[in-house]
Amino acid sequence: MDRFAYEALRTCALTHNYNKWIHGIFKEYISDRTVLEIGCGIGNLTRLFLGSCSKLIGIDASLFFIRHLQIDHPEMEVYNFDITDDSVLPLARHKIEAVISVNVLEHIKDDEKALRNMRELLQPGGYLLLFVPALNRLFGTLDENVDHYRRYDKKELKSKLESGGFTVEKLFFSNFPGIFGWFVNGRILRRKSFPIMQPLLFDKLVPLISRVEKIFRPPLGMSLIAIARKK
């Protein structure tokens, strides 16, 4: 599974505009702060986060990914932890001001335990920045093949965040056009992966889509973004 996920992450590494878009959404909340990245993978976003925060610490459940990341960023503190395991909690000693998790929570069976541990790691008033796949009705073969337990609807995510001890400041959809590609590939054609040219072609459109969505928040989107604070 690590090697299959690695290939998927390598494809995502080529979507430079998309990665910059995600970074741009969260940049103001991580600037000059001590940040913990949950599920840093092979570092597709890590290199962007490193340029914004004062200190970045990473964790990932895959030692395979960590070894890969350490080649590119040997100066960075990276730990082999599962966020649902309480052995991660001593990292609170770093006085973490923001926890960021991009396309990770959907891979975790007990996502509510994960959210509670994220809260424990944060300083009071610290930010939780979440980016997750949206709309349960889009769940299909693409999700199954990358071990997604779920996609999220707004009401469900808000409820889980509040139950986990967070105050939700912003909760909004992103990437409206992506809905159609995911639905066709995962629900109609029942593909297990995207043809590589599709993400690359989509990446060319990202600058336009991001500008439009900055002005007009879409009513639905392929992804759901939450900005929350520890109570």
Q: What is the structure's pLDDT at 2?
A: 59
Q: What is the separation, in whole angstroms, between the first and last Cα of the chain?
A: 37
How many residues would you count in the chain?
A: 231
Q: What is the structure's pLDDT at 6?
A: 66
Paired with 230 in beta bridges are: 166
Which residues in the chain show pLDDT less than 70?
A: 1-6
Q: What is the structure's pLDDT at 3?
A: 61
Phi, psi of 116 (to 5 degrees): -65, -40
Mind listing the pLDDT tens digit for each residue in 194-205?
788 888 999 999
Q: What is the structure's pLDDT at 47?
A: 92
Domain with 164, as residue range(s), is: 2-230
Structural domain tally of the chain?
Answer: 1
Mind listing the pLDDT tens digit for each residue in 116-170?
999 999 999 999 999 999 999 999 999 998 889 999 999 999 999 999 999 999 9
Q: What is the structure's pLDDT at 10?
A: 76
The pTM of this model reads: 0.94
CATH number of the domain bearing residue 193? 3.40.50.150
Distance CA 118, CA 127 (A): 10
